[in-house]
Copies of this chain bind each other. A is one copy, B any other.
């Protein structure tokens, strides 16, 4: 991603950061999240515990290393959508394109499992999503030329960001995402009663 920065200093910095993240993920997968202490990680990466916190804001952040670009991709999906396309449709497309792909990688299954089986990580992940609400809603509001805190825009952002969370556990994620966007587009409809037994 980020081109190896010019200075040797920056390269070394990035290297230690990476070493820490790698060590952390490996240990978390071997044992579980709660069974690994910061000290363990620091030892494995051969740095002091203080260094760990110089690079990461907290234990949970060690797991979600690279999730910083997600936000910008999301904004881009809104801002640079094909001309004439509905914002809701653009978001639907973006979620469909980028999200189920994550499950494709083979290691990603264990990763997902790690997160889902650790309450602290689940909570952190959910907050990560909703933390994007502000910037996403701002982008949407801009597209309509209304105030950044316009209620409809904030609501749309929030609801859309809930969709991946809601679709996470479904067998057929794509279908779930579609169904959820349909709710936002056309309003909620009562579920079909199953045929009487």
Contacts and interface: CB of A to CB of B under 8 A. Distances in A.
Nearest to A145: B193
Given A87-B190, A152-B188, A159-B159, 18 more contacts: A88-B188, A141-B191, A144-B190, A144-B191, A146-B193, A146-B194, A151-B191, A152-B189, A152-B190, A153-B191, A155-B166, A155-B180, A155-B188, A156-B188, A159-B162, A184-B188, A185-B187, A185-B188
A29 interface: no
Contacts of A187: 184-187
Contacts of A72: none
B152 A158 contact: no
Size bracket, chain A contacts:
35 or more
Contacts of A127: 123, 126
Contacts of A145: 193-194
A121 to B, nearest CB: 13
Given A158-B166, A166-B158, A151 B126 contact: no
A161 to B, nearest CB: 10
Contact of A150 (B88, B151, B156, B191): B191
Interface in A146-195: 146-147, 150-156, 158-159, 162, 165-166, 170, 176, 179-180, 183-194
A130 interface: yes
Nearest to A191: B152
Q: Which 6 A-B pairs have the closest CB atoms?
A: A187-B187, A152-B191, A186-B187, A146-B191, A150-B191, A184-B188
Contacts of A141: 191
Nearest to A154: B166
B152 A162 contact: no
